[in-house]
Amino acid sequence: MISLEDKIMLLINGRMDQNSYEECQSIQLSKELKLSRNQVTRLLNELFNDKKLIKIKTSPVLYLSRGSLESKYKKKLSSDEYKSLDELEAELNNQTELKNFEKLIGSNESMYQIVEKIKATVSYPPVGLPMLFYGPTGTGKSFMAKLTYEYCVDTGLIDASKNFVQVNCSEYANNPELLTANLFGYKKGAFTGAESDNLGLLHFADGGVLFLDEVHCLNAECQEKLFLYMDQGIYHLVGDNNKWYKSKCRIIFATTEVPQKALLKTFLRRIPVILTIPSLAQRGENEKLELMYNFLKNEEKRINKTILISSNVYELLLNHTFVGNIGELTNTIQASCVSALYKSNSDTLEIHAYDLPDSIRNSIDVSSMIMKKHKLVSLNTLLPVSDQGIIKDFYQSLINIKRDTSFAINAQNTVDRYFEKLIFNDNRAGSIDYLTNYLEKIFNNITEHYGFRTSHNELIALATYISEFSKNTYLTNNWINENYDEVKNLKKYLKLEFHREYEIGQDVSHYLKNNMNQDIDDFVECIICICMIKYFVHSGEDLTIAIIIAHGYSTASSIAEASNRMLNSYIFDAIDMPLDVDVQAITRKINDYIAYVGNISKLYLLVDMGSLEEIYQGLDTSNADIALVNNINTKCALEIGQGIKL
């Protein structure tokens, strides 16, 4: 069941999508929800305290979604409160201009490793290394070359006065001699039509970047002439073999052909870095949505009209395979806007299925389109569909939960709500079957040690989450780096308060890392731990519990961990106590643990020092057989553990 908080967020996001900001106030929301104004105001303030809403301190006060605004404007808000909508708008519209690779959609996701290699390559002393972009047409190779130049300027690798020189070699496919002349320069009289000296593109690219696109169109002779320049930075002008010219520029090549087949081996050997640029289909749904949003937003600004797209158009664009990749997607959107603009006579431009190019329309299954509900949606609905914002909000919600007696239930509810959203929005039926089956095998093995059973639905939810996490690793890694201390504290808290569940999270992560090459981070381990809490807190079974209590920062934990590992079973829990703690404090700690675990039939207490009689008399347990052992060490724990195991 959807919570009141989620209902409020849905209402506010919906009104913001319609630009009805003035309606995002408590009295309007209370009427729609049929709740008292006081109750709605209280919930709004709780969402505000959780950083999900911001306040506009007008009369009445407006509450706006922080996530919606930050996604729409791609900017972090600097404040929680604003005096007016004008003040908020002024901040959003004066956002800092994106620099170099920040303009590349996916630079922190699918393109992250490529971007990092580009940065390393152009930074290599003294003037970088030659590199080659290889990928199908329309994948953005030229755009990335320009961003590389901007990165060099922004980081001081090259002076801003130096040039970015671009040559499309395919334009000279029928006249390779002209390309050679333009590239290296030529002397007057070198050939018919050479009426004056020309220094060539290598000269103009000196100190900057030379980008040779469609480099497979270079003939063998021109490739060979580049050898010497790439090796030593010197070259001859055409028609002048007596004088050497020098140039120091960073060279970027690009090709749509397989480099090993299209280029000379001796030429390819001089290009140490070859980067494969993924197709649009390989970039994933999230990035495709963001590309669609950006292209449509650009057209909105160009024609000065608000664009609405049909839900059918949205689905067709999202699911269509664009052979021409990003370039074809851009052309498709522009062509659709042109078609729709011809029929538009208002401030709104509506794009319907019949506005799409023939290549897209011909792929439509008319019968399936008829069965689907048709509606017009604003462009702002494109970004929230992406699960990136959802996973970040989910992580932030978990971090913000208070570490008190209500933590377990609040954390479980937060995880359950997120899992429900994932499964509800998941359109990739069957894509996680393998991961679900593998998780089932993992938990079957772990169950032997911990004594619990997971439901199949929970395994599906966990598999869906891990799959979603895998698609957004760069995003989550960045978030974890930004919230390093908070994540560390949460992990420490879980280890201390939910030790058994924490160990299960560690075990599951270990299996995934080693057997499935899943890049599991600390926060995934925390979430698995939280998923496990319910199986122990609410267990009605009588349990045999063995606890090692020792003074020191991690003495008890070390003995328990070593013993469990050597026994190949989870036998011992651990309570680490400060060196100066008294018996009463130890007893209170044990009683807290007993209350947390629940029904205990047999209790083994292994302590390093202290009065066994005082501990025994202070225990709050009944109908349980209790065994107390003093002066515990690893050898003793192994002997007792072996007996418990039998």
- Residue corresponding to tokens 């709004």: 44
537 pLDDT higher than 60: no
pLDDT of residue 432: 67
Q: What is the pLDDT of residues 224-282, one digit of tens each?
A: 889 889 988 999 898 888 889 999 999 999 999 999 999 999 999 999 999 999 999 88
pLDDT of residue 371: 42
pLDDT of residue 370: 45
pLDDT of residue 250: 96
Closest CA to 138 of 272, 298, 282: 282
Closest CA to 279 of 109, 105, 116, 137: 137
Peptide bond into 125 cis (omega under 30): no
Taking residues 604-632, report their average pLDDT.
76
Q: What is the pLDDT of residues 437-465, one digit of tens each?
A: 888 888 877 765 565 667 677 788 888 88
Q: What is the pLDDT of residues 385-401, one digit of tens each?
A: 444 557 777 888 899 89
Determine how β-strand 543-551 pairs with β-strand 250-255.
unpaired
Is the CB of residue 149 less than 8 Å from the CB of residue 292?
no
203 pLDDT higher than 80: yes
Which is more confident, 330 or 420? 330
Share of the chain above pLDDT 70, in %: 87
Taking residues 300-320, report their average pLDDT.
85
Is the CB of residue 599 less than 8 Å from the CB of residue 532?
no
Give the relative orientation of helices 112-123 and 141-154 as an angle to the nearest 10 degrees: 50
pLDDT of residue 124: 94
Q: Interior CA angle at 600 toward 597 and 601, to 5°?
A: 165
Taking residues 602-612, report their average pLDDT.
76
For 569, which DSSP code? S
pLDDT of residue 384: 43
pLDDT of residue 258: 94
pLDDT of residue 333: 93
Which residues lie closer than 8 Å to 127 by C-beta, 6 or more apart?
A: 233, 248, 249, 250
639 pLDDT higher than 50: yes
- Rounded-to-integer distance, Cα 243 and Cα 236, Å: 6
- Domains (range + CATH), the chain: 4-93 (1.10.10.10), 101-276 (3.40.50.300), 281-385 (1.10.8.60), 387-537 (no CATH), 543-645 (3.40.50.510)
625 pLDDT higher than 50: yes
Cα 56 from chain centroid (whole Å): 30
Q: What is the pLDDT of residues 347-396, one digit of tens each?
A: 888 898 888 998 887 776 655 554 444 677 777 666 544 445 577 778 88
Is the CB of residue 254 less than 8 Å from the CB of residue 215?
yes
- Residue corresponding to tokens 């829990």: 573
The size of the chain, in residues, is 646
Taking residues 509-537, report their average pLDDT.
76
Is the CB of residue 253 less than 8 Å from the CB of residue 130?
yes
pLDDT of residue 141: 95
pTM equals 0.54
- The upper half-sphere exposure of residue 264, i.e. CA atoms within 13 Å in the direction of its Cβ, equals 14
pLDDT of residue 612: 59
In the chain, the amino acid numbered 400 is N
pLDDT of residue 130: 95
- Rounded-to-integer distance, Cα 339 and Cα 500, Å: 62
Calculate the CA dihedral of residues 385, 389, 391, 396 and round it to 10 degrees.
Answer: -150
For 215, which DSSP code? G
- Rounded-to-integer distance, Cα 97 and Cα 81, Å: 24
- Rounded-to-integer distance, Cα 604 and Cα 560, Å: 13
429 pLDDT higher than 50: no
Cα 468 from chain centroid (whole Å): 9
pLDDT of residue 563: 82
Would you state the structure tokens that stand for residue 40, as one six-digit string?
Answer: 């709605």
Which is more confident, 598 or 42? 42
pLDDT of residue 428: 44
Which residues lie closer than 8 Å to 459 by C-beta, 6 or more apart?
A: 436, 439, 440, 443
Closest CA to 573 of 597, 595, 608, 541: 597
Cα 421 from chain centroid (whole Å): 17
Pure H helices in 517-627: 522-537, 555-567, 583-597, 612-618
Average pLDDT in the chain: 82
Q: Using only C-alpha atoms, what is the Rg of the chain?
A: 32
- Rounded-to-integer distance, Cα 500 and Cα 545, Å: 11
| CA dihedral sign, ordered 476, 76, 290, 213 | negative
Residue 71: phi, psi to the nearest 5? -70, -40
Taking residues 534-541, report their average pLDDT.
53
In the chain, the amino acid numbered 592 is D
In the chain, the amino acid numbered 253 is F
pLDDT of residue 58: 83
Is the CB of residue 521 less than 8 Å from the CB of residue 476?
yes
- Residue 478 CB coordination number (10 Å): 15
Residue 605: phi, psi to the nearest 5? -115, 120
412 pLDDT higher than 90: no
168 pLDDT higher than 60: yes
475 pLDDT higher than 60: yes
- Rounded-to-integer distance, Cα 571 and Cα 559, Å: 11
- Rounded-to-integer distance, Cα 150 and Cα 152, Å: 5
515 pLDDT higher than 90: no
- Which range, of 126-135, 203-212, 562-571, averages the lowest pLDDT? 562-571
Residue 548: phi, psi to the nearest 5? -100, 125
- Rounded-to-integer distance, Cα 237 and Cα 200, Å: 8
pLDDT of residue 112: 85
Is the CB of residue 469 less than 8 Å from the CB of residue 523?
no
- Rounded-to-integer distance, Cα 356 and Cα 332, Å: 7
Determine how β-strand 234-237 pairs with β-strand 625-629.
unpaired
Share of the chain above pLDDT 90, in %: 22
Indicate the pLDDT class of residue 533, thresholds 50, 70 and 90. confident
